[in-house]
Structure 1
């Protein structure tokens, strides 16, 4: 193998740049040429490709987002779009590909693999919803971002003796809500996998204020409902007037924390090694502090999903008011 490509697809996440940097540095160290594919699969089909040198990845390990930019592509989900991607890769002499992204990105990578393009996937998403890995690139940074925001909001909540409802990202996975809720001592945490009931929330809020609490924090994953909906429910079923904060895309940004930098560097380097060994169709991750390697089909399988113990603890902690 003489030439490989790397692209980022779907939602951006802190940790993508460290992974790109590792791919480029590792490949050049072994005498390979590396080509950056800009704007994900959409850019691939359009041939938006540039050779990357060491200078192109200098001073990016601390930067959030992705220097290759990212996009979602409906066109690449079609047979015609996938075949176009294969043709463009062959035109540029790219013999292997590293894809950094979430579930949709993995599915695109799997199709390229089936069409004869050696492909390795790295888990890049803040939602932490990729099977076959305990942590995804950007998740740790996102949780820290939410935690810092909630800590600041709690100061105001205490000063005004109020309830604050904080809406965080997570349409299908509640890891951000569960982890940040535990880290900030939220009184109620609502997640898609194992959510509390709204009447229980009212009971906990009431009991807390009766014990002398001066404030309460309710964290809601967007997949369960909006912060406004929960605030309205609280107002209609109690004497409290909650305030709402929607953290939104602030959760995606920011300099990656140490773990995401190390995870991106570790997985990016290993991805190049696998391509050099002639291995394809694999998704990398981290399990029990070791690099895990799974077939894409395993990652897509519902049976491979293991309930995060933190999710269970998040529910328990709110029930016991830990």
Structure 2
């Protein structure tokens, strides 16, 4: 990715080490008043917020259709489906990283988050809405969120309760070394996927399904969780679409994201960790599904292309 010189997000909360502290200009963010984007222009997303509204209406009638709800992962949050998909015995606690590389990764993450802010602000503003930017929390080893306690072994996750994304940057090593999914755009895909869950929270998808899941079986909850995760993949693809339009992608970046989607499919992870697959236990989607829905968002840049709830997945 070509992010040199791009702006850095201020919505970074660094909780590594002993408590929250300021590192390199980051720290506890304040709610910013955004000025019009000026020179940062973007193309319309087609259906835009109208497409989202249509989806929300469809979501509210799903209850009467007997469609399964979201399984909220990690104590109530909608997780990304990376390390969380591994059996506990397969998870590893990452070791602390040296400060210089951590700082470089912090800068990269901050720039990726800023790019997601620009894209989603543009989409919302083009349709007369304000985009509430999420906060990304950096932590080491363990963290407590509004969704409960989580360790680094749980992987990156989004908590609807406090509208924050959480990540231990050592996960990027896990992504490359254990999932065979290296590359900067693969890392950016992780962040964009969690931002996709934030979009779902903003438009009311996660709160509604969090209520509905309490009346559903585990199998039904798993089935709906797949649709939620695939939509977050598709939203990540939409961000990738606009990122490409701005000329920020390098040769091979798209392949990195598609490979990451492949490596974190339920079927691929189960084959790697236990040697066989149990389809009824899937809750994030197969490798083929995750690749397909990221590609749909990337190729179209349109929100209505991400209707995983009213289409076969």
Rg comparison, structure with higher value: 1
Q: Which structure has more strand as a fraction of its residues? A: 1
